[in-house]
Amino acid sequence: MIGELILLLVGAALVNNVILSQFLGLCPFLGVSRRVETAAGMGAAVIFVITIASAVCSAIYLLILEPAHLTYLNTIVFILVIAALVQLVEMILKKMMKSLYNALGIYLPLITTNCAVLGVALLNVQKYADYTGGKMMVFSIVNGLGTSAGFCIAIVLMAGIRERIENNDITSSFRGQPIVLVTAGLMAIAFCGFAGVI
Amino acid sequence: MDASMILLAVAVVGGVGLLIGLLLGVAGKKFAVETDERVEQVREHLAGSNCGGCGFAGCDACAEAMVAGTAAPNVCAPAGAENAKAIGEILGVSVEVGDRKVAFVRCAGTCDKTEMKSQYFGIQDCQKASMIPGSTDKACNFGCMGFGSCVNACKYDAIHVVNGVAVVDKEKCVACGACTAVCPKNLIVLVPAKAEHLVQCSNREKGKAVKAVCAAGCIGCGICQKNCEFGAVTVTNNLASIDPEKCTNCGKCAEKCPVKVIS
């Protein structure tokens, strides 16, 4: 089982990278990848939210929704949990790291609507629906951790590239978002190289 | 459909919500950040419409900047003089309150006064239309295009396009400056509300060229300049302008203006 979990972790982080091969969560990917520090902060916040959300959501699914035959309430209950977690992250950051809180700005509360977060929570309960109790929880958490680590890797890499792009002589029509989108596309192609790893 | 299923669903979602609410309430107490209470007090004296006229991201950001000292207490034009003074008292600084200002459109080229050079069926937005060569159906290249980008920018319903030209409602205008920023022709300026006589034209062409395109345009004849006893009117680049500081509202310039471009 340990081997399976390691494979899952690497697979979720690199091979099925949430941004570069599933195209989820592009908004913060383009929005807060201007500086490496901010991007790393965003990545850390997303890791926290996705991992905890995976655990809590699959627990709620297992303990409440499935026994009560209320699985159609997945979306609404999961988004409730995610919103609360984001609120919690916001409080913690405001208290502990005011500068990061200011740098993330509107993108911090927007983690709530980051489709990667809800996507992971929903995919977990779909993919591992056959697994029983504890196994599903473990797989969900590891999948959440891997996915969010993939998000963090992608956004930090992107921020590093963007910091260098800033100083380049880019055609005026490509300056700003267009060159960032082209870069994202090239990164996605590069990440295709991981497809054969597993 | 069983009614108990509905009740169960309500109970589950409600219960989860209640639990999360309680946890967040506890966390909120635990991670409470002591905010400067002056920010709240200052915030109450701002206009609260998030117009962005102060240059900050919104009223909250503006209040924070005021308390931090990076913004003057009187940058919120919509709040008015009374509130600026109140903010000054909260922050313990003296506030110089200037005259009330209003936006003013430097064009009077209504549809009946301006020549039309073409029929325009393109996009109905000043900023986008200004990218197109020739930009509008009016023959004057300086005047109001009348598509109302300023109307859309105004959060106070204080500017309207009347007969092809934007007109400011002086009563409603709070001088936030949103319209001045969006006008691609830079026609809108903030002027003291007490100024009664202003030049309603921005055309810098010579008199003959102006006459060819608009019956309400300044032809730069200089009669106003000669007749002003206070030196408030100057004609530069074929266009008269009135300095509100020196103007005494005597009205002589408006009286003598051959094209009645001075209001």
Q: What is the ipTM of this complex?
A: 0.72
Measured over the CA atoms of residue B132, residue B136, residue B142 and residue B147, the dihedral's sign is negative
Give the pLDDT mean for B5-29: 89
Q: What is the pLDDT of residue A189?
A: 92
Alpha helices in B31-125 (DSSP H): 37-45, 59-68, 80-91
pLDDT at B18 > cutoff 90: yes
The alpha-carbon gap from A8 to the nearest alpha carbon of chain B, in Å, equals 30
Instruction: Quote the tokens at residue A191.
Output: 């990440």
pLDDT-derived band at B98, boundaries 50, 70, 90: low
- Residue A69: list chain B partners with CB under 8 A: 5
Give the pLDDT mean for B125-129: 86
- Interatomic CA distance for residues A186 and A33, integer angstroms: 16
The alpha-carbon gap from B206 to the nearest alpha carbon of chain A, in Å, equals 36
Q: Which amino acid is at A97?
A: M
Give the DSSP letter string of B38-49.
HHHHHHHHS--S
Instruction: Quote the tokens at residue B222.
Output: 């200089």
- Interatomic CA distance for residues A151 and B149, integer angstroms: 40
The alpha-carbon gap from B63 to the nearest alpha carbon of chain A, in Å, equals 15
Q: What is the pLDDT of residue B97?
A: 66
pLDDT-derived band at B1, boundaries 50, 70, 90: low
Return the residue of A nearest to B61 by Cα.
A102
Which tens digits make up the pLDDT trace of A143-196? 999 999 999 999 999 999 999 988 888 888 888 889 999 999 999 999 988 888
- Interatomic CA distance for residues B155 and B30, integer angstroms: 39
pLDDT at A121 > cutoff 80: yes
- Interatomic CA distance for residues B93 and B72, integer angstroms: 10
Instruction: Quote the tokens at residue B80.
Output: 């008015």
**Is there a contact between B12 and A92 if contact means CB atoms under 8 Å apart?**
no
Whether the Cβ atoms of residue B180 and residue B102 lie closer than 8 Å to each other = no
> Of B5, B10, B76, nearest to B45 (Cα)?
B76
Q: What is the CA radius of gyration of chain B?
A: 26
Q: Is B136 exposed, middle or buried (0-12, 13-18, 19+ CB in 10 A)?
A: buried
Q: What is the pLDDT of residue A150?
A: 94
Non-local CB neighbours of A53 within 8 Å, separated by 6+ positions: A78, A81, A82, A85, A117, A120, A121, A144
Instruction: Quote the tokens at residue A68.
Output: 């009560």
Which tens digits make up the pLDDT trace of B30-48? 887 777 788 888 888 888 8
- Interatomic CA distance for residues B226 and B206, integer angstroms: 18
**Is there a contact between B24 and A60 if contact means CB atoms under 8 Å apart?**
no
**Is there a contact between B8 and A68 if contact means CB atoms under 8 Å apart?**
yes
Which tens digits make up the pLDDT trace of A48-107? 889 989 998 999 888 888 888 888 888 999 999 999 988 888 888 888 888 888 777 777
- Give chain B's contact residues with A (Cβ, < 8 Å): 5, 8-9, 12-13, 16-17, 20, 23-24, 27-28, 31-33
Give the DSSP letter string of A27-68.
HHHHHS-SSHHHHHHHHHHHHHHHHHHHHHHHHHIIIIITTT
pLDDT-derived band at B75, boundaries 50, 70, 90: confident
**Is there a contact between B13 and A87 if contact means CB atoms under 8 Å apart?**
no
- Residue A77: list chain B partners with CB under 8 A: 12-13, 16
- Interatomic CA distance for residues B187 and B173, integer angstroms: 16
The mean of the pLDDT values for chain B is 85
> Of A70, A67, A30, A43, nearest to A158 (Cα)?
A30
pLDDT at A37 > cutoff 70: yes
Range of lowest pLDDT (B23-27, B71-75, B147-151, B238-242): B71-75
Name which of A73, A94, A95 is nearest B9 (Cβ-Cβ).
A73
pLDDT at B3 > cutoff 80: yes
pLDDT at B226 > cutoff 80: yes
Which tens digits make up the pLDDT trace of B198-217? 889 988 888 888 888 888 88
The alpha-carbon gap from A53 to the nearest alpha carbon of chain B, in Å, equals 13
Identify the residue among B2, B16, B34 best suited for mutation to test binding to A, counting A beta carbons within 10 A and taking the highest. Answer: B16
- Interatomic CA distance for residues B45 and B38, integer angstroms: 11
pLDDT at B61 > cutoff 90: no
Q: H/E element holding B235?
A: strand B233-236
Instruction: Give the single-character DSSP code of A12.
Output: I
The alpha-carbon gap from A7 to the nearest alpha carbon of chain B, in Å, equals 33
Task: Count the Cβ atoms, other than its own, within 10 Å of residue B65.
Answer: 19
